[in-house]
Amino acid sequence: MMPLKPLLYLFVLLNLSVSCAQSTANKEGSAVVETSSVANSIAQSDTLKFTSDIRSIFQDKNGNYWLGSHQEGVCMFDGNSYKYFTINQGLVDQQVRSIQEDKNGNIWFGTANGVSMYDGVKFTNFPTDANNPQSAWNATAESLWFNAGVNEGVNVFDGARMNYFSFPKKASVEPFSAHQVTGISKAVDGKVWIATYDDLFCFDGKTLFMLDSLHLALQDISYMHIRSILADSRGRLWIGNNGIGVLLHQGNATINFSDENGLIHANSGRNGDHSPAGTLEHVFAIDEDAAGNIWFADRDPGIWRFDGENMTNYLIAEGTSNPMAWCIYTDNNGNLLFGASDGHVYRFSGESFSEFF
């Protein structure tokens, strides 16, 4: 048996080593917490067991589907079974708002409380370091972008470390008074568009600039409350609001697309009130399919498709059971998928919806 003093000495050395490693991580970027292998503690099922909203969908290069929930972590479907990852397995938060994959095959999760990376064995977590924002915005084409939860900024991983960038403070305060991120979309020209409740930001690789109600020439009664954003393949910018519908920004001009197409109710309060059928006022998700159609998920009247000329309205399910779609995603096989408030994923077949997960 090893004598007591050498054992104590070894214990002190190990603790000093861990402390130094943690200190280095904090100096280089956001705090990093790594868990041990989680392979033996992952819950599995034959069917999807989520009961809260599906907030994000992603299919990785190996064909696995990742489904992010509103309250229950993330689930991975490998074609045979559903595997669940929560804070118990090392995920930084139970609400998963975005999912993406890096060039090395690591899966990244943007949550309500920081970012998690899963390498197939363990999670590496990056809590938002809002107390230490970077002094100047910078990023590359390969950078990964994430929301920063309740903080008014973004988390950006540059391949080596996670950086937190904060938005400039506004001189005037609009009703929602929040620069919390509600959506991020990369444009074909390399610009990154960042939606917040109050305003829209754009980073062109060198400079950050803001488009508020004044820059978009909105009417005095039209306050933005942005919930979704899409920079499409044709260079158009679609801005989904909770109240005033969809804004379409092209070049230097902006129109209220919902208004132009008669999709704002005549007696609309242009706020969060419930809207009747045939309207497009509360848009929580926007995406483009392989054919170039633009899809909108409205909180109340359901799904809309714009084919370049006409708008068509669909319901995921008929009657009062029709769930709200939180996200829209096109998978590797071209399937158009909708993550819904009932904890399921639906596929559009060309005419109707069917349960996919």
pLDDT in tens, 229-270: 999 999 999 999 999 999 999 988 899 999 999 999 999 988
* 8-state DSSP, 282: B
Those residues whose C-beta lies under 8 Å from the C-beta of residue 327, and which sit 6 or more positions away, are: 54, 55, 56, 57, 285, 297, 338, 339
- Alpha-carbon dihedral 175, 176, 178, 182, rounded to 10 degrees: -140
Encoded amino acid at 280, one letter: L
The pLDDT > 90 percentage for the chain reads 75
Note the pLDDT of residue 212. 79
Backbone angles phi, psi at 9, to 5 degrees: -65, -45
C-alpha distances (whole Å) from 131 to each of 55, 84, 193, 269 are 27, 32, 24, 38
Instruction: Report the chain's terminal Cα–Cα distance, integer Å.
Output: 56
Among 249, 267, 264, CA closest to 311: 264
Mean pLDDT is highest, among 119-123, 196-200, 208-212, 283-287, for 283-287
Percent with pLDDT over 70 in the chain: 85
Residue 95 has pLDDT above 50, yes or no: yes
CA-to-CA distance for 200 and 212, rounded, in angstroms?
Answer: 6
Cβ-contact 340, 326 below 8 angstroms: yes
What is the chain's mean pLDDT, rounded?
88
Q: Using one digit for the tens of pLDDT, what is the confidence trace for 97-145?
A: 999 999 999 999 999 999 999 999 999 999 998 999 998 999 999 999 9
Rounded Cα distance between 89 and 43, Å, is 10
By mean pLDDT, which of 21-25, 98-102, 153-157, 182-186 is the weakest? 21-25
Q: How high is the pLDDT of residue 12?
A: 36
pLDDT confidence of residue 251 = 86
Residue 321's pLDDT is what?
A: 78
Write the pLDDT tens digit of every residue in 12-61: 333 433 333 333 344 345 556 666 567 558 999 999 999 999 999 999 99
Q: In the structure, what pLDDT confidence band is assigned to residue 221 with cuts at 50, 70 and 90?
A: low
Instruction: Give the C-alpha separation, 107 to 90, whole Å.
Output: 14
